[in-house]
Amino acid sequence: MSDESKSNKITRREMLYRTGAGGLGLLVGASGFGTISALGKTLDKEDKQTAEDAIPFYGTHQSGIITKPQTYIYLISLDLTTNQLSDVRDLFKEWTMASAHMSKAELVGPYTDNSYVPPEDTGEADGLSASKLTITYGFGPTFFDKNGSDRFGLASKKPKQLKSLPSFAGDQIEEQWTGGDLCVQVCAEDKQVAFHAIRNLIRIGRGIVTLRWMQSGFQRTPQADKKKGTPRNLFGFKDGTVNPSTDKEFNDIVWSNGSEAPWIKNGSYMVMRRIRMLLEVWDRTHLNEQEMTFGREKRSGAPLGHQDEFDDINFDKKDESGNPHIPVDSHIKLARGDGSEKILRRSYSYSSEMDPTRAQLDAGLLFISYQKDPFKQFVPIQKRMAGMDRMNEYIRHIGSAVFACPGGASKGGYIGDSLF
């Protein structure tokens, strides 16, 4: 079978959607399950709330990057077990179709009257809202070449920015939390909705991908924080105060223009760092040292010597003794540098319950950042912090990965179609 004929092959799931199942037939339509509502049904109040709770999957950019962070996240890394590009292409077609439907609170496949076959959808999110679900896909360095092999004939399309991060001072990276051929980031306001999405995507990929690592994370819920303030990390400090927020900043900091590889245009590069927080040590540290470590007041989030969380920071401002209010080895000082390197931070707290080897909490920060070039933006920042950040006494970097997230898909297309 030629590559062209393979690329035009209709997958089993596409056939189900096009022909219908369980008696729906052509009422379902070629665009997928649920479009029967186009037959003149008027949206009721519940439907309108569901629509407001849904973030479109299709678009110029993938959702889940500059989307306001939701409460829950699942981030997974996957390795491919196939050496056929057609398998990967078909997988992304099926993933795209499933993602588009789940983002609208629809099942990944219609119910069937045949009780002797597994359902197309696992069912635990049936009847739940979309909960602002976003699904974001990325390609790791080993997708293109692994052990010196051009696996799918795409090595020439690998961007120069897509490679493993260097080792940083103090790293204690564990192999089980590194790398991967592919990644999927799922975020939602409801944990069951998020888990349902991850579960079904893994199920769809069975036989083509295997799970390499998986990490869940959380923030406070909208109900718990009516003021919608900056989230706090597990050290109790506001995390992510300084982030791009305008279209210009997103274009300057986050989105690739495709100059390094056309298929990455309107996409971005994800950096993941799994950071273990030594909570038992931190909890015995006095408040003054905690604030000097961050360079911020714990309660308000204001930079030391300033009044408000969002004040422009004057690092030259000195106290009555002539010392800088914000220590030169504080976290915000080293993260800021001269201001030339900026990233979009989209981090979550994580808790994997107890570490039985230490009888301590296994918890910390699932650090995620997006940027146009990890090696011009993230790496210089991390080098500064790894060298002298006061925070290093209380954390351990134990996981690391980089993924290239392509631009969004248009209706009728699929994620990564410009690559394939």
Concatenated DSSP letters for 207-248? TTEEEEEEEEEE---TTT-TT--PPB-TTSSB---S---SHH
Helix (H) or strand (E) holding 145: strand 145-146
Q: What is the pLDDT of residues 126-163, one digit of tens each?
A: 999 999 999 999 999 999 999 999 999 999 999 999 99
Q: What's the pLDDT score for residue 354?
A: 78
Q: What's the pLDDT score for residue 47?
A: 52
Instruction: Please give the angle made by the CA atoms of 205, 158 and 8, to the nearest 5 degrees.
Output: 50
Burial 316-351 (b: 16+ CB within 10 A, else e): eeeeeeeebbbbebbbbbbbbeeeebbbbbbbbbbe
How is residue 154 written in tokens? 């795409």
* Residue 309: how many other CB atoms lie within 10 Å: 16
Q: What's the pLDDT score for residue 360?
A: 84
Q: What's the pLDDT score for residue 120?
A: 92
Rounded Cα distance between 420 and 415, Å, is 10
Q: What's the pLDDT score for residue 25?
A: 31
Rounded Cα distance between 39 and 49, Å, is 20
Q: What's the pLDDT score for residue 213?
A: 98
Beta-strand runs (E) in 292-394: 344-345, 348-355, 360-371
Low-confidence ranges of the chain (pLDDT < 50): 1-43, 45-46
Q: Answer yes or no: are the C-beta atoms of 172 and 50 closer than 8 Å.
A: no
Q: What's the pLDDT score for residue 39?
A: 34
pTM of the model: 0.87
